[in-house]
């Protein structure tokens, strides 16, 4: 999506220079590559806008990027910088007026449509690049919903989760922040066991690692210069070098899964929750594409697998 032009500022004598954007943040501001992170949060009670503003302001405004403007320094060849500014929280907390009939007839779809429309627009760069949208109507899973939209140059998923976690408090002690359980360290294995065969195994593993690294690097460079990604229904018509030159409509569809089931798979596979979620996402996309665009043989195979495995 194409946003507004960055603000151009001229540094005054003794003025604040601002912080240079990281290389990855600059990529997120390239033409036709503006990327936003959109977060859904459901609540069991109706939302009070004043309470949300009072909660978010002291937490979000501690983060330098959340109270900084994107500015272009004309004196240094158009360098992009974060320049601190005063934030008016009212400009970032939005209570939209939606069609009441849509809220009653299909509230879940209304939330998804609203998020889809957010993905088609950009935040005005005269303010810090984040906003919060309060949808104060009941859905099938929540009494109200908050949609947080943040430009990806401000932060990543890990920092966002940390910030959202800092908004919560313990049930037992309302004044304390929630704690995250630490992972117990496993007892290290004896590195000297195995002798000669262990040395050969490690050497073979190292050779495979080097070979795969060379192949991956060669394929990456070839893709950058002359190869193209495989054409799939998930790929838009205007992708080039990883950027989307002709943005198309986006659709947000969500589902709810049990965290207990995720933990069960995680423990059975001796993996992480992230591994399980990536596997679920990949399996879901693969099955969807095969059913919708695959051959009849592949579809029949997937249908037989589903009949034999009802929990898939």
Active site residues: 152
- Tell me how far apart the alpha carbons of residues 243 and 237 are, in angstroms, rounded to a whole number: 11
Judge whether 20 and 88 are in contact, CB under 8 Å.
no
Q: What is the DSSP letter of 80?
A: E
Find the angle CA(285)-CA(152)-CA(278) to the nearest 5 degrees.
Answer: 25
How many beta carbons lie within 10 A of that of residue 264, not counting itself?
12
Closest by CA position to 39, among listed 170, 169, 130, 138:
130
Give every CB contact of residue 275 below 8 A, 6+ residues apart in sequence: 266, 269
Contact 59, 132 (CB under 8 A): no
Q: Where are the alpha helices (DSSP H) in the chain?
A: 23-27, 49-60, 100-105, 107-119, 157-166, 195-225, 259-269, 273-293, 296-308
**255 contacts 249 by C-beta, under 8 angstroms:** no
Coil/strand/helix, residue 90: helix
In three-state secondary structure terms, 187 is coil
């Amino acid at each position: 999506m194409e946003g507004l032009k960055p603000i151009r500022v001229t540094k005054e004598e003794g003025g604040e220079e601002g912080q240079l954007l990281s290389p990855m943040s600059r990529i997120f501001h390239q033409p036709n590559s503006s990327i936003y992170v959109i977060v859904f949060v459901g609540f069991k009670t109706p939302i009070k806008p004043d309470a949300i503003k009072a909660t978010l302001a002291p937490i979000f405004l501690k983060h330098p990027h959340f109270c900084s403007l994107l500015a272009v320094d004309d004196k240094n060849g158009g360098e992009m910088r974060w320049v601190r500014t005063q934030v008016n929280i009212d400009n970032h907390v939005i209570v939209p007026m939606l069609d009441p009939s849509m809220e009653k007839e299909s509230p879940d779809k209304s939330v998804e449509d609203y998020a889809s429309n957010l993905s088609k627009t950009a935040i005005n760069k005269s303010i810090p690049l984040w906003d919060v949208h309060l949808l104060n109507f009941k859905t099938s899973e929540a009494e109200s919903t908050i949609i947080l939209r943040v430009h990806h140059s401000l932060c990543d998923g890990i920092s966002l989760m940390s910030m959202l976690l800092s908004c919560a408090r313990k049930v037992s002690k309302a004044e304390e922040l929630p704690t995250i359980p630490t992972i117990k360290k496993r007892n290290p294995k004896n590195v000297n066991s195995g002798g000669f065969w262990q040395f050969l195994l490690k050497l073979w593993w190292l050779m495979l690692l080097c070979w795969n690294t060379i192949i991956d690097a060669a394929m990456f460079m070839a893709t950058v210069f002359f190869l193209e990604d495989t054409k799939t229904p998930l790929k838009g018509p205007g992708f080039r070098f990883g950027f989307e030159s002709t943005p198309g409509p986006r659709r947000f569809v969500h589902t709810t899964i049990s965290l207990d089931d995720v933990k069960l798979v995680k423990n059975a596979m001796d993996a992480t929750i992230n591994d399980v979620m990536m596997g679920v996402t990949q399996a879901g996309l693969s099955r969807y594409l095969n059913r919708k665009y695959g051959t009849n043989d592949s579809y029949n195979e997937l249908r037989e697998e589903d009949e034999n495995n009802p929990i898939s």
